[in-house]
Amino acid sequence: MKNITTYQNKKVLVFGLAKSGFSAAKLLHNLGALVTVNDGKPFEENPQAQDLLTEGIKVITGSHPLELLDEEFSLIVKNPGIPYTHPFIERALQRQIPVITEVELAYEISDAPIIGITGTNGKTTTTTMIGECLNAGMEKGVARLSGNIGFPASEVAQEVSAQDRLVMELSSFQLMGITAFHPHIAVVTNLYEAHLDYHGTREDYVKAKWEMQKNMTPEDYLVLNFNQEELRRLAKKTRATVVPFSTQEVVAGAYVQEGIMYYQHEEIMPVSQLGVPGAHNIENALAAIVVAKLQNIETQAIVNALRHFSGVKHRTQYLGEIEGVRVYNDSKATNILATQMALGGFENSTLVLLAGGLDRGNEFDALIPSLEGIKAIVVFGETKDKLIRAAKKAGISTIIETENVETAVPVAFELATEGDTILLSPANASWDQYPNFEIRGDRFIAAVQAVKNK
C-alpha cells in the first residue's frame, strides 16, 4: 500500500455506508483524515456505524442534514448507489465540493497495477475468468478480485503488492466518481441500455462507462467487444492501445474461427471445451484471453483455467448432474436480455426452463424467438400469466404454473428425462418473492440438493 499523505488533517465526508463506505471510512481514518460518516440507517440498526464510532470516527445516522455541508469538507466519498440527483449531493456539487467513489481511493493507494472490467452484462463472469486465468499462470504475485464483485476495492488495495494484480469490476455508478483513476488494462464487455432510472439517458450511461479510459495512455490496453458497432466507434476516441475481441470475424486480438478461439492467430482452445455454456460466455472468455495474453500468461495455463471454469454463482452456474439431467442456476438473469443470452447456450429441445418474478409492467414478446422449441417451461411469481402467454405464442406444448422457485424444482425434474437440462433463468427481478436474486438462487440450489438427497 502506498503511504500517501494527501488526506492528512483533511475533513472528508463518507456519504452512505454499505461495504464500500465502511471500507473507505476506515482507510481515510488510517490515512490521517478527519472523517465524518453520514448514513441514512438509524444508529441502533447500523452495526457498521457503531463499529466506526468505536474507532473514533464521527458518525451521523438516520438522515442526511444539509447543514452538514457547513463543515467545509475538502472531499465527499459517495456510496455508488446514491444518485447524483440526491439533494445533499446536488447541494455539495453546487458548493464545488469534489465527490468521488471509493475506487478512486483504491487507485491512489494500490501498489499493484489495475485491470478494470466494465460493461452492461458479463462483468462479474469476465472479472472472475480473468482472475482465474492470471492465477493459473502468474509466476510471482496473485490476482485479487475487487470492486463491484463484492470485495471493496479500497480494502483489497491495502493488501496487494507490486507483484500482484488488482482485478476490479466497475459499475457505471462507481466510474462516475473517478478523477485520476488509471487502469493499465481496461475491458468493456458490451454496452446495452441499462440503469436509465439512475443515469437519465442512454448517452449518459455510456459516458459513465467510457470514463474508465479517460486517463489511459498508449502504454495502456483497452479491450473492446468489436461485435458491437458502438464500441468500434468509441475505439477511435481513446489514447489507449485498443485490443479487440469478436465472435463474428477475425480481429487483431481474440476471435473465434470454425469453433476455435484464437489470439492473434495462435490457437487457444475449442469453444466446445469452455467450462460454461452460452454465446455470451464465449465473448467473456475472449476478453479474458486477451488480458491473460497481455499479462504474458502461457496458453496452457489459460486453457486449464477456462476449461475448468464452472461459472460464477447465480450466473449460468453449473450445479451438476442428477440422474442424467444437468442443472444450471442463472438467477442473476433479472431481465429479458439476460435470459435470451442464457438460452443461446442450450439446445432448446432438451431444455426445461424455470422463469418468473416481479411484474414491472412489460410483456415478454421479445423473448418468444428464444423460447421456440423448448421442451417445457415452469412459471412462477407475479409474471407467470404473461410468461404463459409468451410460451403459448412460442409454441411450447408443456407449460406448468407453480408457486415459486422451490416448488418449481420438483416439477422440473418430473418433466426432465436423461439427457435434458434444467435451467433457472427467470427473466425477472426477484423482489415479488425474494429479497434479491442471490437468495432466489440459493433457494433454487437448496431445492435441487433436496431432490438429489431423496
Residues annotated in the binding site, as ranges?
A: 119-125
Spell out the residues 6+ positions from residue 211 whose beta carbon is closer than 8 angstroms to its own.
Answer: 175, 176, 178
How far is the CA of 161 from the CAs of 2, 109, 164, 336, 421, in angstroms?
Answer: 10, 11, 5, 41, 44
**Residue 378 belongs to what H/E stretch?**
strand 376-380
Beta-carbon count within 10 A of 233 CB: 9
As a whole number of angstroms, the distance between CA 220 and CA 223 comes to 10
**Residue 442 belongs to what H/E stretch?**
helix 437-453
Spell out the residues 6+ positions from residue 139 whose beta carbon is closer than 8 angstroms to its own.
Answer: none
Spell out the residues 6+ positions from residue 433 whose beta carbon is closer than 8 angstroms to its own.
Answer: 357, 380, 381, 404, 405, 440
As a whole number of angstroms, the distance between CA 261 and CA 267 comes to 6
- For residue 176, count CB atoms less than 10 angstroms from its CB and return exposed for 0-12, middle for 13-18, buried for 19 or more: buried
Contact between residue 76 and residue 98 where contact means Cβ atoms under 8 Å apart: yes
As a whole number of angstroms, the distance between CA 187 and CA 223 comes to 5
* CB half-sphere exposure, 290, CA atoms < 13 A: 32
Contact between residue 365 and residue 353 where contact means Cβ atoms under 8 Å apart: no
Q: What is the dihedral of CA 99, 201, 220, 169, to 10 degrees?
A: 70
Residues annotated in the binding site for ATP, as ranges?
A: 119-125
Rg (CA), the chain: 23
